[in-house]
Amino acid sequence: MKLPTFMRALRMSWLALLTLAGAAAHAVEPVTSTFRGGGEVPLVLTSWGNQDGPGVLLVHGFLGSALLWRQQHDSTMAQTHAMAAFDLRGHGASGKPWNREAYVDTRVWAQDVDAAIRESGLERPVIVAWSYGGYFLMNYLRHYGTSAVSGIVLVGSDGGLVRREPTAAAVDEETAQQRRAASSSPDLQVITRWNAAYVADVLARDGPLPPAEMELLRLTLGLVPHYVRPFLREHRTDNTDLLEQIDVPVLFIHGEKDLSVPLATVREAAGRLQNARLGVYEGVYGHLPFWYWPKRFEEDLERFIAEVHHDREP
């Protein structure tokens, strides 16, 4: 006998609740572990979510840390996906070598990502890389290929897949040099003021955040020592030679008016890949869509992951 419409809806709602309850039973609170990356540098990884679900490895960018993915800890996505994020070398709670070679050599960054995948236990995860993290992810692809990856998501990043043309400076060269010097000053008062300005002008451009969240962002920047920052700026940013090697699905997520990375550049990068798409967040100026719009970001990410795994099915 066919159930009435309201009974069918009730049954579907009950089944959905049972599914969520089952996922929650397999979910874990964030757990932190320490492992060794390239050159034996100690790195810190945080894992959470449903360990029976598809794997997602989150890679932060310049002056960030795994704390930037804090919004995703309590998400509904974590009920159905195994999530992990790690602090890159020189950042967060990870090791901070003094020598230049520990940051400009692409192989050590590749080894870090490889070690993070193995430490997380994620099987062929989708790797999500934000901002400068897109370059670090490309290091991994350069040296290890795509065999251990299901898909790639670049957030606020072109990954160096387009060679950028020099643009007219927004400020004169003397001012630019002063700002660069302040950003890597050993004077804590100077670098703290620069950090606060960077949070306000770049990360939090899409509206005021609660004081506790602003403080968390400033804290994250403050965990990167002054001597590391100049080395990070020397990192390779041209990865156009990797275009032919990227044979997994790619999703770009980008703010329409992001001032850090031009949308036109990201659009061009997406157009150069055979299996890529671009999701544009209209009217967005800032660089943290996963912080300001976590629900939309996670829905886009979940949809992409579901399609990736569906395409992999025999």
Domain extent for 69: 26-167+236-312
**Alpha carbon 115 to chain centroid, angstroms:** 17
Residue 173 lies in a domain: no
- 245 in a structural domain: yes
CATH number, position 94: 3.40.50.1820
Inside any domain, residue 195 = no
- pTM greater than the 0.75 cutoff: yes
Beta bridge partners, 129, equal: 59, 154
314 residues of the chain, pLDDT tens digit each: 444 443 333 343 443 433 444 444 466 789 999 999 999 999 999 999 999 999 999 999 999 999 999 999 989 999 999 999 999 999 999 999 999 999 999 999 999 999 999 999 999 999 999 999 999 999 999 999 999 999 999 999 999 999 876 655 555 777 778 888 999 999 999 999 999 999 999 999 999 999 999 999 999 999 999 999 999 999 999 999 999 999 999 999 999 999 889 999 999 999 999 999 999 999 998 899 999 999 999 999 999 999 998 766 65
Q: Does 206 reside within a domain?
A: no
Q: How many domains does the chain have?
A: 1
End-to-end CA distance of the chain: 36
* 276 found inside a domain: yes
152: which strand partners?
127, 250
Does the residue 190 lie in any domain? no
Is residue 48 a part of any domain in this protein?
Answer: yes
Strands of 276-281's sheet in order across: 27-36, 42-50, 82-87, 55-59, 126-130, 151-155, 250-255, 276-281
Q: Quick check: is 175 in a domain?
A: no
